[in-house]
Amino acid sequence: MKRRKEKDYPVMALMALLTIFIVTFLVVAIIRTVSSFQAEEPSAVEEPDEPTSEHLAAISQVEQEILLDKLAIYDDYFVTFDGQKKIEDLTDVEKITFIDRLPIEVQQEKGLDFEAGVPLETIQELLREYFGPDITLHPVNCPCFLGDGDYLIYDATTRTYYADTDGHGHGGYEPYQVHNFYVDGVKTSNENSITYTLTIKKAFAAPNSSSYYSSYTDALEKNNLLFDLYTLYGEKAYTDTSRLLSVQYEKNKGLFPGYVYTFTTNSTAEEAYLVNLKK
Ligand SMILES: [Zn+2]
C-alpha cells in the first residue's frame, strides 16, 4: 500500500497541477467575459430604442479614413470655391470641370480619357456618384483653365466629350496642395439614410511650394502666410511634409478656419456623396 501510494505521488502532483491550470483558465475566462461585457455596455446603451427615428453616433475610425480619402477626391476642384459654393448652384461648366479635375488616380480607375473621348452617360453617372442621384447635366462645351477657348468639346452626334488637344498645346492644370486635418464628426442615421457631418481644417499651398495658407484664395493670392515649411525645416519640408504639417497644425490650430463637409448615403460610407461644403 505504502509503496503504491509513493508510486502515485507523481500522478497526484500532475493532477493537482492540471486542476490548478484549469481553475486559473476558467477564472481568467470569466474575468475577460465580464470585462468585455462592461466595455460593450456604453455602446449598448446608445442603441436606438427611443421613440425618435434619428440616431446620433460618433464616426468610427474606419469611416473617418474612408471619408477623408473621399473628400480629398473633391479637393482638386472644390477648394477653388473656398467653401462658398452650394452643390445645387454648380453650373454645367463647373460640373464638367469637376470631372476633368478628378485626381489622376481616380481618372485612371474610372477609365476617363478625354483625348480618346468620354461618353456623356459616363460623366452623368460620375456626377451622380459624387453629388447624388438628383444632379443633372446639360451638355455644354467647357473652357480651358487658361482662358484660351473651349477645351472639352461636346459632340452631339456621338454624345461624347473630346479634348481639343490641337488648340491647347500647353501643360495641364496643376492642382493646389491640400492637407486635411480631421477635427470631429457626427453620424446621423434614420431608417433611410446616413448623414456624416465632418469638421475639417485645411492647409493650402501652391504646386511645389512649401508656403502654407489657411484658404485656397490666400494661397492663390499669397496673402496671410501661415508658415513656410522650408524656412522652418529646410529640405525636410519636401521629404517629411505630412509630419511637419501636423506639428505646425498643432501649434497654429486657431488660425485655421473649419470647413464643414456633409456627406449622405443610403448604404455605406464608401457610397456616400457630398451634399454640402461650407466654411
Ligand atoms: Zn488652353
- Ligand 1 geometric centre to CA of 114 (Å): 14
pLDDT in tens, 138-147: 999 999 999 9
- Ligand 1 geometric centre to CA of 165 (Å): 9
Read off the pLDDT band of 27 (50, 70, 90): low
- Predicted pLDDT at 13: 61
C-alpha cell at 116: 480618346
Calculate what percentage of the chain has a pLDDT beyond 70. 81
- Predicted pLDDT at 51: 53
Read off the pLDDT band of 167 (50, 70, 90): confident
- Ligand 1 geometric centre to CA of 213 (Å): 27
- Ligand 1 geometric centre to CA of 51 (Å): 58
Handedness of CA 74, 80, 84, 87 (dihedral sign): negative
Mean pLDDT value of segment 27-42: 50
pLDDT above 50 for 37: no
Is the model more confident about 208 or about 25?
A: 208
CB count in 10 Å sphere of residue 185: 20
- Ligand 1 geometric centre to CA of 101 (Å): 14
Which residues, chain by chain, have CB under 5 Å from ion ligand 1? Answer: 144, 146, 148, 168
User: At how many degrees (to 10) do helices 120-131 and 92-100 cross?
Assistant: 90
Computed over every residue of the chain, the mean pLDDT equals 87
pLDDT above 70 for 170: yes
C-alpha cell at 77: 476642384
Rounded to whole angstroms, the Cα distance separating 110 from 120 reads 14
Mean pLDDT value of segment 5-24: 59
3-class secondary structure, 155: strand
Radius of gyration of the chain (CA): 29
- Ligand 1 geometric centre to CA of 97 (Å): 13
Q: Which amino acid does the sequence have at 95?
A: K
- Ligand 1 geometric centre to CA of 209 (Å): 23
pTM over 0.75: yes
The one-character DSSP state at 191 is S
pLDDT in tens, 207-240: 999 999 999 999 999 999 999 999 999 999 999 9
Angle, alpha carbons 130-135-136 (nearest 5°): 130
Written as one string, the DSSP assignment of 224-268 is S--EEHHHHHTTHHHHSHHHHHHHHHHHHGGGSPEEEEEEEESS-
- Predicted pLDDT at 17: 59
- Predicted pLDDT at 53: 77
Residues in the chain, total = 279
- Predicted pLDDT at 43: 47
pLDDT above 60 for 203: yes
- Ligand 1 geometric centre to CA of 174 (Å): 13
- Ligand 1 geometric centre to CA of 170 (Å): 7
Residue whose C-alpha cell is 480618346: 116
- Ligand 1 geometric centre to CA of 61 (Å): 42
Rounded to whole angstroms, the Cα distance separating 85 from 273 reads 16
pLDDT in tens, 89-138: 999 999 999 999 999 999 999 999 999 999 999 999 999 999 999 999 99
Q: Which amino acid does the sequence have at 14?
A: L
Read off the pLDDT band of 257 (50, 70, 90): confident
Indicate the helix (H) or strand (E) that contains 204. Answer: strand 194-205
- Ligand 1 geometric centre to CA of 149 (Å): 6
- Ligand 1 geometric centre to CA of 146 (Å): 5
- Ligand 1 geometric centre to CA of 182 (Å): 36
- Predicted pLDDT at 169: 86
